[in-house]
Amino acid sequence: MKIDNILIFLSFTILSTCLSAQTYNEILGRPTNNSITMTVLFDQKSDVYWEYGTISGNYSNTTTTYLAKKDTTLKVDFTALSANTKYFYRTRYRLNGSTALFSASAEHSFYTQRATGSTFTFTIESDAHLYDKKGVLNEYKICIANQAADKPDFMIDMGDTYGDDHYPTTITSGKLDSLHKYYRPLLGSICHSIPYFFCMGNHEGEFNYYYNQNPPNNLAVMGSLWRKFYFANPFPNSFYTGNTDIEPYGIGNPENYYAYTWGNALFVVLDVYRYQCDTSAKPQKWDWTLGSAQYNWLKSTLENSTAQYKFVFAHHVSGQGRGAKVQAKFFEWGGYEQNGTSFTFPTNRPGWAKPIHQLFVDNHVNIFFQGHDHLFAHEVMDSVVYQEVPMPSDSTYEIGMLANADAYTSDTIGGSGHLRVTVSPACVKVDFVRAYLPADTISGVHHNMEVAFSYTIGNCNTTTIEDISKKENPDELICMPNPFNDEISINFNVAKAETIKLVITDMTGKIVFDKTEMFSGAGKNSFIWNRKDLPGGTYICRLLANNNMITKKIVKLK
């Protein structure tokens, strides 16, 4: 077996025998059934090759030796791999021109495409925002370490990661270079074994509105070039489908939307920013669009997929606004004007079959994942789960809750962390895994990697609380009256005799009520909460059984 090319992103610091320090990082990307891509970046001119095999510590295959130029990404594909297989590898390197022996990295690993019927895990993060004050580096490092502990097959990053459109008309190519390069060692600390997929965010600035302003010297063109220089997203081939455009100014294929199948699941990653209808001004309402090419590709991809599960990813519904379920009713996504009564999709999208949400419903999309709003939020609309991904880097744990929770109609939780998604033939399980700085766990109220919310699609047999996550109107958990003055009844169903724990917290995460009770039989049960002494405001009610949870937002009036 021979490797022709290689593309990986790893992060190591090494000391050569001549005592000249080398620093490099690698990130895996574009995994398929028979290949994977590695992008490596050295800070000095170096020689590098890789040893790999299917048995830990036994590297039966070796690549050719490559020259890695200083501060220039080397992109190489491992090819002729076996499907549904775990590979182990290590990196061998030395300074170019040196006669010293090649140093060896620690052993790392990756999986090729999982077979139908396999069980696997992937993680999702969104809105790291380390380029502004919202994102805190130490918090982000904890979150990515937590993701590594989940041992996922890959990570999907939902955007607002390494772009910065806060200064869209004055930002320089050099600044964009440094913003993208900054993430290499961070991602490299885990993505040597976790292939990395990227979904465009609004702050990457890669939209038509900027693209047409004095090209190529603009945010969109320069951002596209530096993103592709440092990171490797999929492009259409025998494994991936996606954007077939070839763009000018050296961009080539923009690698901005794509789809693939892994195990029993279809993954579809959209770009909701590159194709606005009107580029003369900031886009509004019907200006936001996937564009006809991406729309037709999405429609064909969903209709032709026979996957058991279908997941779609985009930074935000229609690329604008706040919230998910409410926004999904309007404009290109839902077909209605903002008044909610005038259905004008045929007029505004002549020749298009149906709004995007209806495509999801008709083709049995299970979950639409989005970022943008900086909190965890879970809603269901016409059997489609709309899942907001929390920030991985919010050390206050409440940025999104304070700013955007009111835009959602159902389960909302603050905090920093990532989503862990486990896919099996029986079910899909989604966990919100929280990330805490050590100083914030001293009280014992919270601990790093605690699961703040879980739900399932299918039958995971993990809890006897009746699964309400996929119902349009989850009335099996009823908090009434809500809003309330002094007393509220929290009603729920259990399937058998069960110990149920009720925890109520304020919006900072402080526990204001904690009670555990054994319920003797199946049927309807309730907790009564009366706290006249507490101030009015929003509280989070959590019912826990067998390590699973149902969550509701409740409002005390005074």
- Tens digit of pLDDT for each residue in 317-357? 988 899 999 999 999 999 999 999 999 999 999 999 999 99
Task: Give the C-alpha separation, 86 to 106, whole Å.
Answer: 16
Cβ atoms < 10 Å from Cβ of 250? 10
Q: Are 193 and 210 in a shared domain?
A: yes
Considering Cα of 58, then 63, then 65, then 66, what sign does the dihedral take?
negative
Kindly report, residue by residue over 457-483, the tens digit of the pLDDT. Answer: 998 864 433 333 333 333 356 888 888
Q: Kindly write down the DSSP assignment for every residue of 99-137, as one continuous string.
A: -SPPEEPPPEEEE-PPPTT--EEEEEE----TTSTT--H
Q: Identify whether 213 is part of a domain.
A: yes
Kindly report, residue by residue over 260-309, the tens digit of the pLDDT. Answer: 999 999 999 999 999 988 777 778 899 999 999 999 999 999 999 999 99
CATH (domain of 66): 2.60.40.380
Q: What pLDDT score was predicted for residue 323?
A: 96
Cβ atoms < 10 Å from Cβ of 224? 27
Q: Which residues of the chain have pLDDT under 70?
A: 1-21, 461-477, 507-509, 521, 546-549
Helix, strand or coil, per DSSP, at residue 369: strand
Q: What pLDDT score was predicted for residue 549?
A: 67
Q: Identify whether 387 is part of a domain.
A: yes
CB within 8 Å of 437: residues ≥ 6 apart: 138, 139, 142, 395
* Strand 265-269 to 309-313 pairing: parallel
Q: Are 219 and 316 in a shared domain?
A: yes
Q: Identify whether 464 is part of a domain.
A: no
Q: Identify whether 204 is part of a domain.
A: yes
Task: Give the C-alpha separation, 117 to 240, whole Å.
Answer: 20
Q: Identify whether 357 is part of a domain.
A: yes
Kindly report, residue by residue over 148-159, the tens digit of the pLDDT. Answer: 999 999 999 999
Q: Are 367 and 397 in a shared domain?
A: yes
- In angstroms, the first-to-last Cα distance of the chain is 70
Q: Are 400 and 256 in a shared domain?
A: yes
The separation between CA 356 and the C-alpha centre of its own chain, rounded to angstroms, equals: 20
Q: What pLDDT score was predicted for residue 552?
A: 79
Q: Identify whether 466 is part of a domain.
A: no
Considering Cα of 180, then 181, then 182, then 186, what sign does the dihedral take?
positive
Residue 313: left (phi > 0), alpha (psi -120 to 50), or beta? Answer: beta
Question: Cα torsion at 294, 300, 303, 307 (round to 10°)?
Answer: -80
Cβ atoms < 10 Å from Cβ of 57? 8
pTM above 0.85, yes or no: no
Burial of 47 (0-12, 13-18, 19+ CB in 10 A): middle
Q: Are 397 and 347 in a shared domain?
A: yes
Q: Are 353 and 412 in a shared domain?
A: yes
Q: 56 and 94 in contact (C-beta within 8 Å)? A: no
CATH (domain of 539): 2.60.40.3080
Q: Identify whether 535 is part of a domain.
A: yes
Q: What pLDDT score was predicted for residue 548?
A: 61
Task: Give the C-alpha separation, 219 to 223, whole Å.
Answer: 6
Q: Are 155 and 261 in a shared domain?
A: yes
Q: Are 107 and 128 in a shared domain?
A: no
H or E element: which one contains 142?
helix 137-149
Closest among 69, 50, 51 to 59, alpha carbons compared: 51
- C-alpha distances (whole Å) from 60 to each of 88, 270, 441 are 10, 39, 45
CB within 8 Å of 143: residues ≥ 6 apart: 125, 392, 393, 416, 417, 418, 435
Q: Are 15 and 145 in a shared domain?
A: no
Q: Kindly write down the DSSP assignment for every residue of 239-305, as one continuous string.
A: S-EE----BTTTTBS----EEEEETTEEEEE--SSTT-S--SSS--GGG----HHHHHHHHHHHHH-
CATH (domain of 213): 3.60.21.70
Q: What pLDDT score was predicted for residue 21?
A: 61
Q: Are 415 and 509 in a shared domain?
A: no
Task: Give the C-alpha separation, 423 to 444, whole Å.
Answer: 31
Which tokens in the block code for residue 119? 């069980």
Q: Identify whether 268 is part of a domain.
A: yes
Residue at a domain's end among 385, 401, 424: 424
Helix, strand or coil, per DSSP, at residue 442: coil
CB within 8 Å of 467: residues ≥ 6 apart: 455, 456
Structure-token match 């030796």, residue found: 65
Q: What pLDDT score was predicted for residue 395?
A: 97
Residue ranges making up the domain that contains 31: 9-111
The CA R_g of the chain, rounded to the nearest whole Å, is 24
Residue at a domain's end among 403, 424, 445: 424
Q: Kindly write down the DSSP assignment for every residue of 444-465, as one continuous string.
A: SS--TT-EEEEEEEE-----SB
Q: What domain count does the chain have?
A: 3
Q: Are 198 and 318 in a shared domain?
A: yes
Residue at a domain's end among 56, 81, 111: 111
Which tokens in the block code for residue 482? 């809500």
Which tokens in the block code for residue 407? 């835009």
CB within 8 Å of 262: residues ≥ 6 apart: 113, 114, 120, 122, 153, 154
Q: Are 505 and 486 in a shared domain?
A: yes
Cβ atoms < 10 Å from Cβ of 444? 6
